[in-house]
Amino acid sequence: MEWVDGSVRMIDQTKLPDKLTYVVVKDHYKMARAIKEMIVRGAPAIGVAAAMGLALAAKGSHAKTKEQLIARLHEAANILRKSRPTAWNLFWAIDRIIREADKATGSPTAIIHQVVDEARKMAEEEVQASHRIGDFGTTVLADGDGVLTHCNAGTLATVSYGTALAPIRTAISQGKRLQVFATETRPRLQGAKLTTFELLSDKIPVTLIVDGAAGYVMRQGMVNKVIVGADRITRRFVANKVGTYMLALAARANNIPFYVAAPTSTFHLEGDQSDVKIEERGADEVIRIGGKRIAPREVRVFNPAFDVTPVELVRGFITEKGVLSPEMLRADAVL
């Protein structure tokens, strides 16, 4: 995701792995739609996309006063906030941009510049955070490890380098030999489509399994670490792609450390489960694959996009500030 000449250029993730195509987003309406339609997805990427959406709104505002500009930003923020409900990064990023704009002084044009700069700075910060997550995360990985990951928490879910994939990339760059297992991640198959694509592009071998096979590969000793990303982390719960909770339970049952890798922009320590809105998506994601219907037309479908894992099941949170235990989260860890 890049800011290019007053537009945002990003990969259309819905077309991968078949086609690597880019879309150019020019206003916050299109950005909200890109988030909703999952052209851009992954919590840190969604956060930066929202910030850039506000930058586009600022640029396109033709505001004559600061008040007009702030009003325009609030309007755009309301639209962007409704794009998807679960990833905390979205709300965090919007609040940060609005706060910066509120604080800013100077002409409307100067403030618009500051808003654009802030959005671009957030993108750079997320890249740095990913590399720091890699640095901290590699310490939990040993030569010869089998590492399982879920959904896509790589470059495509961030700005670059990834969250759950960052420790894997760093460990491999240090010469550690890892066996990487990716769950396909139904219904949208981000593991099969995106994680495999990313890792194979970087010449990192990866083995694809169906979601239900994760417990078996753990029991068979093929995997001895699990690392996933997160959409929202509170003091007691991790909201992440549906299926994460069962992976955490299987890891616990097999004495396998289960790690959550996420930048601090994903943490909402003031929040609790009641705040965590778990998005329910349409039936078609489940009953149609590649345009083909796989179930009887009249079947009822329940399709939560995320689930909730108690922090007690997490061995460590790998952040850009270090690896935190669940106890540190519940105490007053400052993030």
Which CB sits closer to its own copies, 175 or 290? 290
Q: What is the DSSP string of 242-271?
A: TTHHHHHHHHHHTT--EEEE--GGGB-TT-
Cα end-to-end distance, the chain, whole Å? 25
Helix (H, G, I), strand (E, B) or coil at 65: coil
Give min distance, CB of 191 to its own copies, in A.
9
State how far the Cα of 334 lies from the Cα of 28, in Å rounded to an integer: 32
State how far the Cα of 260 lies from the Cα of 266, in Å rounded to an integer: 11
Which CB sits closer to its own copies, 9 or 219? 219
Which CB sits closer to its own copies, 72 or 186? 186
State how far the Cα of 233 lies from the Cα of 250, in Å rounded to an integer: 20
**How open is the CA angle 312-318-324, to the nearest 5 degrees?**
55
Give min distance, CB of 283 to its own copies, in A.
8
Which CB sits closer to its own copies, 101 or 227? 227
State how far the Cα of 163 lies from the Cα of 261, in Å rounded to an integer: 5
Give min distance, CB of 75 to its own copies, in A.
35
Note the residues at the interface with its own copies (CB under 8 A).
17, 181, 183-187, 189, 192-193, 196-197, 200, 205-217, 219, 222, 241-247, 249-250, 253, 278, 286-287, 289-292, 294-296, 298-304, 307-308
Give min distance, CB of 214 to its own copies, in A.
7
Catalytic position from the list 135, 231, 275, 307: 231
Kindly give, in sequence order, each residue whose CB lies less than 8 Å from that of residue 33, ignoring residues fewer than 6 positions away.
39, 83
Quick check: is 231 catalytic?
A: yes
Catalytic machinery residues: 231
